[in-house]
Structures are given as structure tokens and as C-alpha cells.
Amino acid sequence: MSQFRTEHDSMGEIAVPADHAWGAQTQRSLENFPIGREKMPPELLSAFALLKKAAAESNHTLLPSRMTDEKRRLIVRAADAILRGEYRDEFPLSVWQTGSGTQTNMNFNEVIAHAGNAEAGKDLLHPNDDVNLSQSSNDAFPAAMRISAASILSKEVLPALENLIGRMKDLEEENRGILKTGRTHLQDAVPIAFSQEISGWRGMLEGCREAIKTALPPLFSLPLGATAVGTGLNSPRGFGREAARALSSFTGLPFREAENKFRSLTSLDDLAFAHGALKALAASLMKIANDLRWLASGPRCGLGEIILPANEPGSSIMPGKVNPTQCEAIAMIAVQVMGNDAAVGFAASQGNFELNVFLPVTAYNFLQSARLLADGMRSFEKRALAGMKPEKARMEENLQKTLMTVTALSPRIGYERAAETAKTAYREGLTLPEAAEKLGFLKKEEASALLDPASMLSPGEPEIRSAD
């Protein structure tokens, strides 16, 4: 038995591996683009399966003589099998192919046609005439990109982010009443409550959540029915509306027909905007991760104000060493997302006339960013934040040593005298009250009353009482 079968397309015949379901155009792409190891992301493949299923349903409604019930059922069953992962090895194409993603669209058309015909026992489905009916790669690929982007943001990124915000809220409550030294420029600053510091982290994440939610609605707008250049040639009236309605029923997301399909084919501004929200989330996660590893530095020769979970040995040569590895992982993810944002932004700028031909690289980078952030946040929450504990004694020790509580003396003795008090205390190894009394600015008891850290956690000057 031959290991190959002969397939044909508009360019002629080509040998295709007999044990695979793809056809001629997929094979040509495999041979013409042996570039890199990056393949089309699984989220995009799932979106394409949903799209082909929705197209079959819509064509059956609008063009029943061409999309018969038998053809519809075969396409839907093949798409459902793909969604279950039964054809995982049938989508081998490189990201680095035609910029419109035409070959990936045809890969789907060919696999679905092959699967349907095998089930029917006859050549009933044609990849272009039936599976691709009322579509073009030029509207199918941009639609699949938006379906996959909206789905991963809604079902992966936002839930992981919500869990992270919830963990921050829990940490705020658990750490109320704990005072510590604030820090700016990596230098000592005035006191802060640990719960206030955590609230800053929570607020950053909540802002990122709102940014992602703001970026979602444009992604629900799909260019299906635009066909090649946005005019809808060879697509029945109402196809875009019907297909979006079907996709909404499949996914539970509010997909709709794009109002301006010419824009949807040539512009990726909605994806660039949404990835910008992911970049903002990456920046916030980087900041939080860096704060945590600074605060956990030590355990004896660093700040040592928090303890992070010891998940694994930290060194192959230094026994007992433990590192903030979850913080490092989330920081590396942030770096990757920021790099991806540059790629998405450049790609979005490259629309020419009626089409952007940087679609596969945009989809690849967008989905990688979203997937990394979702997975990273879940791991960070479970393996770092869930076990984070304050080192209260170290916080209190550092709070007592800081000189920046001298800020509370400024309303009483003025900025310059307060600065002189701090410098004297530092130079001579004195406490601030001792330095203030030595300089003749305040009695030690009066200075001590003004320097209570708990009085410095909210707006307003500290109450000034006479030491007498």
C-alpha cells in the first residue's frame, strides 16, 4: 500500500501522506514554508472549528439548496470532532506562512471535507465550494483571530485575574494593623500599613481588569460575510449576522456582525488596543513581583519583611538556599508580553489597501501573551501569594530604625530643623527624639509623641501636644 495519495488543487496534483486528512494546499504550505517551530496556536484552531460550524449552520439557513442538511451535518460533526481534539495532528502549518493565513483556512477546509467524506463514504464535500462557502480566508482568519482573542480574555485571563484580586483582598484583611517602613527610590520613607501597601497592588490589578473589559467589546465585532475585500461578493445577504448569532450560541459570548467590514479586514487596531491592556497587566504584575522579591530578600542579609513559600531548592551548590521563583517566572512572562506588544503594534500598522497581511504573527503573539498571563497568574496566586506571610518582628525592627518618621516633626519645628535632626541622629547613632532634644528643638518626650508611626497613616498633620 502506498504511503502517499494524490491530491489536486487549482495548481495541479501533489502527493500527500496517506495517513493524514489534509489536502493539496496544506501540503504545498508544508513544503513551501519549512520555517521555525511555531505552529498555529490551539486557541486559534478551536476558533476556526467554531467558525466552520457556524458557517455551515448559517449557509443551511440562507442557502439550503447549496448547503444541504446532509452537508451541514457532516461539517458540524467534523468541526465538533476537531474541538474534541480528535484531529490534533492534522494542523501542522507554520505561523510563518502567507500573511493572510489563507493556508490555515484551507487546512481546515481540507481536513473537514476529508473527514466528512470519509464518514459519508463518498466525495460529497469540496473544501472550497462547501466548507468555505460564503467565506474568504480574508474574512475567516480575522474573524477566527477575534473569536480566539475574545474567548481567551473572557474565559482564561479575566477569571485568573479575578482570583488574583480576591487573594489580594484576603491578604489585606489578614494583615490589617501591621505597620512597616514605606520606601521610595529604594530608600526609607514614612510609615505605611502593610494592608495599605497590599491595597496598592490590588488597585493596580483592578485597573487592569477594567482595561481588559473595556478592550473586549470591539473584539466581538466579526467581519464574516466580508469575503475577499469587504464587499461580501459570493456571500448571501445576512450571512454575517447569522454566523455571529451561531457563534454566540456556541460560546456564550456576544459576537456580532461588524458594521464596517472594510475596516475589519485591513485594521487590527482592536487587537492592538486589547494587547495594550495585556501589556499594562504585565507591567503591573512585574511591579508586584519585584516588590515581593525585594521584601522577601534575605533571609538574613536583605529586607526580610515577608516570607514566600519555599517551593523547591534554589541552588545546585548552596544547600538550603530558597529563591523567589514564582516572582521570577511572572517577571519573565511580563518581559515576553512586552516584546509581543511591540510585534502586535508593528503588525497592526501594516494594513495595505483592503487587507492586513500580518495576521498569523499577530494571532500567535496575542494568544501567547494571554495564555502566559492566565497560566502565570494562576501559578503566582497559588504558589506565591497563597503562602505569603509577614515577618512582623523584622517590620517592627526596620520601622524603629527608619529616620524618615522625622517628617512628622516638620509641622512643629520646620523642614530644615527636621532635616538637621535626621542627619544628626544618623551621624551620631542617636534616636530621633534624642537628636531633637540634643539640638534643642524639642524635648524627647514631646518628639516621641509626635513620632508615633500609627499617627502617620492618613492625611493631616500629627496632633501637637506640649511635653509639659
C-alpha cell at 130: 462547501
Q: How confident is the model at residue 463 (pLDDT cuts 50, 70, 90)?
A: low
Given a contact cutoff of 8 angstroms between Cβ atoms, the answer to whether 403 and 188 are in contact is yes
Given a contact cutoff of 8 angstroms between Cβ atoms, the answer to whether 239 and 246 are in contact is no
Collapsing DSSP to helix, strand or coil, 83 comes out as: helix
221-222/256-257 β-pairing = parallel
Find all residues with CB under 8 Å of 22, minimum gap 6, and list them.
Answer: 16, 90, 92, 107, 110, 111, 114
- What are the residues facing 221 on neighbouring strands? 256
179-184/187-193 β-pairing = antiparallel
What is d(CA 64, CA 441) in angstroms, rounded to the nearest whole number? 93
Higher pLDDT, 404 or 461: 404
Q: Domain spanning 19-133: which CATH class is it, in words?
A: mainly alpha
What's the mean pLDDT when you consider all of the chain?
96
What is d(CA 315, CA 184) in angstroms, rounded to the nearest whole number? 31
| pLDDT tens profile 2-16 | 699 999 999 999 999
Residue 55 CB neighbour total at 10 angstroms: 30
* DSSP 8-state symbol, 189: E
- What count of residues does the chain have? 468
Residue 326 CB neighbour total at 10 angstroms: 23
Q: Write the CA distances from 149 to 130, 269, 283, 420, integer angstroms.
A: 27, 13, 20, 58
C-alpha cell at 304: 526580610
- At residue 464, does pLDDT exceed 60? no
Q: Options 1.10.40.30, 3.40.1360.10, 3.20.10.10, 1.10.260.40; which CATH number does 403-456 get?
A: 1.10.40.30
C-alpha cell at 161: 485575574
* Cis peptide bond upstream of 218, omega within 30: no
Collapsing DSSP to helix, strand or coil, 67 comes out as: coil
C-alpha cell at 237: 445577504
Domain boundaries 139-179+192-220+267-393, corresponding CATH code: 1.20.200.10
| pLDDT tens profile 344-402 | 999 999 999 999 999 999 999 999 999 999 999 999 999 999 999 999 999 999 999 99
Please give the positions annotated as active site. Answer: 185, 315
Give yes or no on whether 19-133 and 139-179+192-220+267-393 have one common fold.
no
User: Could you state, in order of their start, the residue ranges of all structural domains in the chain?
Assistant: 19-133, 139-179+192-220+267-393, 403-456
- Which residue blocks in 192-324 are alpha helix, DSSP H? 194-219, 239-251, 261-266, 269-295
| pLDDT tens profile 244-261 | 999 999 999 999 999 999
What is d(CA 332, CA 340) in angstroms, rounded to the nearest whole number? 12
- At residue 50, does pLDDT exceed 90? yes
Collapsing DSSP to helix, strand or coil, 379 comes out as: helix
Average pLDDT in the 427-449 region?
96
Given a contact cutoff of 8 angstroms between Cβ atoms, the answer to whether 243 and 261 are in contact is no
| pLDDT tens profile 303-350 | 999 999 999 999 999 999 999 999 999 999 999 999 999 999 999 999
Element (H, E) at 368: helix 359-383
**pLDDT given at position 460:** 76
Indicate the burial class of 300 (C-beta count within 10 angstroms; 0-12, 13-18, 19 or more). exposed
Q: How far is CA 340 from the centre of its chain?
A: 11
Nearest Cα neighbor of 143 from 298, 264, 269, 322 is: 264
| pLDDT tens profile 149-158 | 999 999 999 9
| pLDDT tens profile 171-203 | 999 999 999 999 999 999 999 999 999 999 999
By percentage, how much of the chain surpasses pLDDT 70? Answer: 98
